Structure 1
Amino acid sequence: MPLDPAHAALVRLVRDEGTRVLATLIRQVGDVALAEDAVQDATVRALETWPRDGVPDEPRAWLTVAARRRAIDIVRREAARTGKEAAAMELTGPPEEQDDLLRLVFTCCHPALAVETQVALALRTLCGLTTPEVARALLVPEATMTKRLTRAKQKIARAGIPYRVPDDHELPERLRGVLSTVYLLFNEGYGPTATPRPALVDEAVRLTRLLRELMPGEASVLGLLALELLLDSRRDARHDADGRPVLLADQDRGRWRAELVQEGVILVGEGLRRSPDRPDPYVVQAAIAACHALAPRYADTDWTAVLSWYDVLLAVADTPVVRLNRAVAVGERDGPAAGLAAIDAVTGLDDYPLRHASRAELLARLGHTADARAAYAAALALPQDAAQLAHLRRRAERVSP
């Protein structure tokens, strides 16, 4: 049975606050696995007691204390870890100068870990996804993902990978992984067609601002911050009163946050100036978002400009998803037949629900009802978030049999 709205909100609160608690506890106990076990226990206790006793005034503080106490219990029971007991029992101390969550991002993205492991660890620790959810997101069997995450945590412990923000000279080699991780965090919270988690969006934006302070002239950081702000500017218009997604074409642009659009557009310009010869992919994606943000109405969108930016993006980051998004833009500028031909030319996305859904939309516009329903059926048959499934079912129901 689905969770009632109040309990679902409580689950989201606990999950989102748990990310910050985990980051703090890892710093204190120096062991990712121990911290995860303790935070998991604390979240279970919260979900058991808060519905009865009420949500505390400081949820994160409550979870932190509960997790720390659980860590102490675990340490005391395991003789092999008694050397860490003092760290786990340190309930008070001087404030840290560096941000705990930013430390965790850099730990996940240490170059000693393979890129696919960095991504998996980030999804698990920063986004709060379960191991099965991470496995589905990365199209890997659950057993394989469990082993991958376990090995990653063991490697962090054995290699003594420091839990800190690196020195200035170490930042460039970590930056690509760190930005990818923060963007994953943003996307998990943004949920284009899934259930949004605003707390994760806010965390991602906050972390990107911190990265900008660390590397103020880095084009990729400017581009990521611009992209996040331009997308988040639509927050209040992206769902209707019943919580259902509202597509970009149907959003009330009067509800978009003008100050975020303005800041994002300025950052796009600065990012382009910082990378004149080979624009950074994040800057280019932000430029595409700016094309949408600056159009007073969906009908006023400059699709030629959008397609031009997609061509630039393909030159610096050619992926099947980018090609799919460009094909959708072709359909908007040149009509559904041209868009459908462009989508059908994209390969490597047979297991990507949005490819089938995009085809379905264009087929429906062409009046090919049976083919449109078949394309929606193909999209609905693939693993995805429950909210996204519900969204696709509603779209499919609009196509007359």
Structure 2
Amino acid sequence: MKYPYIDNTLFISNRAAFVKHLKNNSIAILNANDEYMRSGDQNFNFKQNADLFYLSGIDQEQTILLLYPDCPNPLYREVLFLRQTNEHIAVWEGHKYTKEEAQRASGIQAIYWLEDFDNILQSIAHYADTIYLNTNENDRSEITVPYRDLRFIRQMKDRFPLHHYERMAPILRGLRAVKSTIEVELTRKACSITRDAFIRVLKFVKPGVKEYEIEAEIIHEFIRQGATGHAYSPIIASGNNAVILHYTDNNQVCKDGDVILFDFAAEYANYNADLSRSIPVNGRFTKRQKDVYNAVHRVMIEAKKLLKPGAVWNEYQDEVGRIMESELIGLGLLDKHDVAKQNPKVPLYKKYFMHGVSHHLGIDVHDFAGRYTPFEAGNILTCEPGIYIREEGLGIRLENDILLTTDGNIDLMADIPLEAEEIEELMNEV
């Protein structure tokens, strides 16, 4: 691992909170993610199942976590199964967890090799009434590939057809949204690395550089500071590319007079930052560019005030939309009379601001949380208004990560340059 051991009290407390939600006499089983093939004999870099990591801290493929709080055999109330290493694996793939290292990382004392899973499960499953299984229930995702969790569900139901089965996801949806102190600090670290990468970029950008050269500067800083890598595919969108919301080609030349829209961030210890900024290629905004930039910045300031415990996502989105309408009228992009007559179900501002203002952030960039659950203290949410003017080839988005608390919000990216004048000053330092 590139990061130091995380304090395992995080995972011990996560498991304690999770098992309180299980029905009496229940088993819960979580699997590591698949290792996905990249080419003939190579896999993509492994990314751990977020729920398994949340409950165990184990960042390794071919791992199974079994929780059975009421197990009549106390040895099997909390069990972790690992891939057993050998000399061949050590030579070709490197170090894997020892049992002692897994105990240290997870706080789980009962560590077995994966080959013991079937026998141990067989010895206890018939004493349980209910089995909780996991699937990806993030409502932003549409899964078409039969991934490990789905295959495991079929195997379990074939093997134990008369047990009651329950979904694990509704429990985790509520738990994962509220971040502990340790999780906040890991997110701060990801934000700090992201900040340094952005400062590096400000000093690097000039007319004629290629988008992918900027991407190289970013990943250099991420890896140099021990980040796992990108939290998501980075967007380096100059000029007309900035009006493409998910532009990731990053293969164009940055031209004098254009603005670059960045959306990039670091992943550290499986926790993610999420940053958007927009900067002038030549170090100076035109008047029009700065007017649009400042309009987005004002919307961001007001949106951050609305991000507080008790707010409901849809109502929050609508309120920010009304703030955006006013700014778009001021920029001459909307007519106030047309706005007054608009269909409220299809607001005109969405022509220029067509995405959501905020999403939960955590182990997943678009973290697992209830879309209809009011925000609460401990949530980390992005705040990312934008204006995209296709006919002008101009896109501006600004995004920071906000921790909600009972005493007011904390901007985890408050130290990352945001004011248009500060951006220009840093870009023009000798």
TM superposition score normalised by structure 1: 0.28
The structure carrying a bigger strand percent of its residues is 2
The structure carrying a bigger helix percent of its residues is 1
TM superposition score normalised by structure 2: 0.26
If asked which structure has higher relative contact order (CA below 8 Å, sep 6+), I would say: 2
User: Bigger radius of gyration, 1 or 2?
Assistant: 2
